Amino acid sequence: MAIECKNITFGYSKDNILFKNISFSVDYGERVGIVAKSGFGKSTLAKIIAGYEKPLSGEIIVDGKPITKKGYNPVQLIYQHPEKAINPMWKMEKVLLEENVLNDYIINSLGIKKEWLKRYPTELSGGELQRFSVARALCENTKFIIADEITTMVDPITQSQIWHFLIEECQKRNMGMIIVTHNMYLAEKICTRIINLEDMALE
């Protein structure tokens, strides 16, 4: 098993528990959809798996080892709100150079225009920024991608383009994916398996 979530419990304080004992695992090459109602804690869970947030209890195991803070994290999160995920003081070029993904193949496949590279994040639309967030996650050391509602702010054609590209990349590199979405039609198209967290919380 590649990523294992073991009994993850999270809350902002001991008496305000958001979710309890969430366990599942995702293998290489799998695309697992996560669904639950708004406010359940899907994004928080995504952050925990990517190592940005610490759970109250439970652990995340990647390839048999717990996540360490050292070095490049093979689990990359693509965030729901790109305007909050990109340093507002950096030009887009620098954002891509940081992850060493400034190559023509990725840029062209995602429809990133050369002139956008010279701009600051506030000068791009939400959909345009999200393409950068996707590109940034595709560093060659990435083994897992967590996609948290990454295409809710783009039009259906761009949504379809981004997903076709991401799925192709994942298959090519045998990456695993965890996909958070509210759109069941989309989930059925792109996921190999769907987990409903609300059912899991009831058990």
Partner 1 sequence: MKNIPEIEIENLSITFKIYEKGLIQKNIKTISNLCLKAYKGEILAVVGSSGSGKSLLAHAIMGILPKNATVTGSIKYKGSELTEKRIHNLRGKEICIIPQSVSYLDPLMKVGSQVMIKNNKSCFEKMRNAFKRYDLCENAEKLYPFQYSGGMARRALISTVEQTEPSVIIADEPTPGLDKQMAYKTMKYFRDFADKGKAVIIITHDIDIAVQYADKVSVFYGGTTLETTKAENFIKGEKYLCHPYTKALYNALPQNGFKPVEGFQPSPYDVFEGCIYYDRCDIRCEKCKENIPIYNFPDGSGFVRCINGY
Q: What does the binding site for partner 1 look like in residue numbers (CB under 8 A)?
A: 12, 36-44, 80-81, 83-84, 111, 113, 115, 124-128, 149, 152-161, 163-164, 182-186, 188-190
Q: How far is the CB of 51 from partner 1 (least distance, A)?
A: 19
Which CA distances in Å does 196 have to 19, 159, 176, 179? 13, 23, 18, 12
Instruction: List own/partner pairs for 90-93 with CB under 8 A and 24 or more apart.
Output: 90/120, 90/121, 91/117, 91/118, 91/119, 91/120, 92/116, 92/117, 92/118, 92/119, 92/120, 92/121, 92/124, 92/132, 93/117, 93/118
Q: How far is the CB of 176 from partner 1 (least distance, A)?
A: 21
Looking at beta carbons only, is 41 or 74 nearer to partner 1? Answer: 41
Looking at beta carbons only, is 142 or 181 nearer to partner 1? Answer: 181
Q: How far is the CB of 173 from partner 1 (least distance, A)?
A: 20
Q: How far is the CB of 93 from partner 1 (least distance, A)?
A: 15
Looking at beta carbons only, is 117 or 139 nearer to partner 1? Answer: 117
Coil, helix or strand at residue 34: strand
DSSP assigned state of 87: -
Looking at beta carbons only, is 115 or 203 nearer to partner 1? Answer: 115
Dist CA 177 CA 76 (whole Å): 10
Looking at beta carbons only, is 94 or 182 nearer to partner 1? Answer: 182
Q: Look at the alpha carbons of 117, 118, 120, 126 in this order and tell me if their dihedral is positive or negative.
A: negative
Q: How far is the CB of 99 from partner 1 (least distance, A)?
A: 22
